[in-house]
Chain A
Amino acid sequence: GDSVTQMEGPVTLSEEAFLTINCTYTATGYPSLFWYVQYPGEGLQLLLKATKADDKGSNKGFEATYRKETTSFHLEKGSVQVSDSAVYFCALSGASGSRLTFGEGTQLTVNP
């Protein structure tokens, strides 16, 4: 079945550091890929998405490129801020389109 593997956290960075959170997936066909962000005590918000190979999703300085050859969708940001501290979830929508498969989430803490 479909699965998503994220790099283990927690990740702690200083403000203005470069961020990478790795995400790899296993799925049949051509899934759609998503990154969601969850701030403390809140629901998930869609951060970005990519629906076909080589697509780059981007939002609020975050980027991720759909790499079919490496089955990856790594999240990157060039300069993180304290306000980026949150839990980040990678997810995919498989061939059936009936549900999302989520990774375990990566806790990011950015210190001033």
Chain B
Amino acid sequence: DGGITQSPKYLFRKEGQNVTLSCEQNLNHDAMYWYRQDPGQGLRLIYYSQIVNDFQKGDIAEGYSVSREKKESFPLTVTSAQKNPTAFYLCASSDRVPYNEQFFGPGTRLTVL
């Protein structure tokens, strides 16, 4: 089955540690996205990539980093510079053209203790 996988489902880290969230897709989509969702709130775009080896900052990129070395993978690192990292993180992918219909993974809930 084609889809997007995110691992792990739940992640706990101590304050001051970097942590990397995994996102893999087998839909052969060119574009991939990372969103952050806080309780009772909408989605905020962190980073997106429209092609391998290229990515752009979204609306809240500070304290995060990404890489796009392979078409199917778009890992997100939450660095110690992110002041409030506890949140639900969602990865998505799309063909981008013509309609940019995005498909979402199941999400990773990160808790920083």
Contacts and interface: CB of A to CB of B under 8 A. Distances in A.
Given A93-B99, A97-B98, 18 more contacts: A34-B101, A36-B104, A41-B109, A42-B107, A43-B90, A43-B92, A43-B106, A43-B107, A45-B104, A49-B99, A51-B98, A51-B99, A97-B97, A97-B100, A98-B50, A99-B45, A99-B58, A105-B41
Contacts, number: 61
Contact of A97 (B33, B58, B96, B107): B96
B48 interface: yes
Interface of B: 4, 6, 31, 33, 40-43, 45, 48, 50, 56, 58, 90, 92, 96-107, 109
Contact of A46 (B31, B50, B103): B103
A107 B40 CA distance: 8
| Residue in B6, B41, B43, B98 with the greatest tally of chain A CB atoms within 10 Å | B43
Contacts of B45: 99
Nearest to A44: B104
Interface string A15-49: 00000000000000000101010000111111001
Contact of A102 (B4, B42, B100): B42
Chain A facing B: main interface SS: strand
Nearest to A96: B100
Contacts of A97: 96-100
7 contacts: A32-B101, A41-B109, A44-B90, A49-B101, A93-B101, A98-B48, A98-B96
Contacts of A41: 107, 109
Contact of B42 (A51, A89, A93): A89
Nearest to A42: B106
A104 B41 contact: yes
Contacts of A42: 106-107
A100 B31 CA distance: 12
